[in-house]
Amino acid sequence: MSAAVTEPPASLAEDSPRGIDWSLVLRQITGIMRLELRRNLFSRRAFALYFLAFSPLPFFMLWAIMARREITYHEFDIEGPAQAVAGPFTFTFVLYVGSMLFLSALITFMSLYRTEILERSLHYYYLTPVRRWVLVVGKYCSALIASCTVFAVATAALFFLTCIPWGFGEMNRYLFSGPGLGNLVAYLGIAVLGCVGYGAVFLLVGLFFRNAIAPAALIWGWEAINFLLPPLLQKISVIHYLKALFPIPPSETFVAVITNPTSPWISVPGLLIFTALVLAFAGWRARHMEISYGGE
């Protein structure tokens, strides 16, 4: 053991100007993401993310095998994949976003603070020279990268499994000579924006609630009845913005469009603004949070 006193390197200037040093903030966010990405992708917590994202995969594989056996020669045209995407895929994807992605965001983003409070390790972050909003952003970004990556891969896999019964040739024609690629990008966009929106909401919920069940049920109910709400209240939800992005409008699901859907040019920035407001509130909450772990 050495009793010598050492000075820290100069990269963290103690008497730095009072303004925000953005290069330092970027390094801090990178440092937070290094820690959090490992947890979000390779820990027990990640199991829920993988399970929920890929849980429809076996059913789609089964469906693909059965569909392949039933398809006749005459059905080998571009309409086959297009109809499958418009029908079973869109219907399932709506449910997928409303259940699997919703639940995954609930577990992943709510855990960002809750798990660390339960494990009594959040104070290590709170004892670093990091602004609380920087911590919120770092944790959010890491969970977002993990969720978006996994759900984008899963969405693409489900999409290809929907098209594959008609063979690679038809699938290629549908993708590159038809609306397929545009549709795929739209569904990927919905998955990513779903993670963005629900992620911010559940990060905030995790900063307020110990038990996830009640707030999760409330939010799920709010999202489900969104189309019944007055136009102003509809804007305070994630599904309101997502439903405008569906390339093929789902008509018989809980995102049924009763009012006129918002244009994607409004809904995407709308969702991003909604997310930014939720994150700003989360940052405020994180700043005023106390770490006592008592009664957890």
Partner 1 sequence: MAVEEKNAIVFDNVSKFYGEVLGINRVTLTFEPGITGLVGPNGSGKTTLMNLMTGLLHPTQGEIRVLGESPDHPERLFSRLGYCTQFDSFPAGMNGYQFIYSFLRVHGFTASEAKKLSWQALERVGLEGAAKRRVAGYSKGMRQRVRLAQAISHGPRVLVLDEPLNGLDPMARAEVIEVFQALAEAGCHLIISSHILHEVDMISDRVVLLSSGYVVAEGEIGGVRSETMEEHPIQVLIRCDKPSLVASRLFEQDHVVEATLHDDHGGLEVRTRDADRFYTLLGEVVLAEEVKIETVTVADADVRAVYEYLIGNEGEGR
Q: Tell me the closest approach of the beta carbon of residue 54 to partner 1, in angstroms.
A: 23
How far is Cα 141 from Cα 222, in angstroms, rounded to an integer? 25
At residue 273, the 3 state secondary structure works out as: helix
Q: Least Å distance between CB 22 and partner 1?
A: 11
- Look at residues 112, 145, 49, 46 and name the one whose alpha carbon lies nearest to residue 282: 112
Q: How far is the CB of 282 from partner 1 (least distance, A)?
A: 16
Nearer to partner 1, 42 or 168 (CB): 42
Distance CA 288, CA 24 (A): 23
Best CA proximity match to 241, nearest among 201, 212, 181, 208: 201
Q: Which residues bind partner 1 (CB under 8 A)?
A: 1-9, 11-12, 14, 18, 24, 27-28, 30-32, 34-35, 38-39, 43, 116, 119-121, 123-132, 287-288, 290-294
Our CB check for partner 1 shows the closer of 129 and 230 to be 129
CB of residue 286 to partner 1, shortest distance in Å:
11
Residue in 25, 59, 40, 52 with CA at minimum distance from that of residue 109 = 40
Give the C-alpha separation, 276 to 289, whole Å.
Answer: 20
Structure-token pair, residue 11: 């990269």
User: Which residue, 51 or 124, is less far from partner 1 as judged by CB?
Assistant: 124
The least distance separating partner 1 from the CB of residue 119, rounded to whole angstroms, comes to: 6
- What is the spatial distance between Cα 29 and Cα 130, in angstroms, rounded to a whole number? 9
Angle, to 10 degrees, between the axis of helix 44-54 and the axis of helix 102-118?
170
Cβ proximity to partner 1: between 127 and 258 the closer is 127
Least distance (Å) from partner 1 to the CB of residue 113? 14
Q: Cβ closer to partner 1: 4 or 213?
A: 4
Distance CA(114)–CA(103), nearest Å, equals 15
In terms of CB distance, is 8 or 169 closer to partner 1? 8
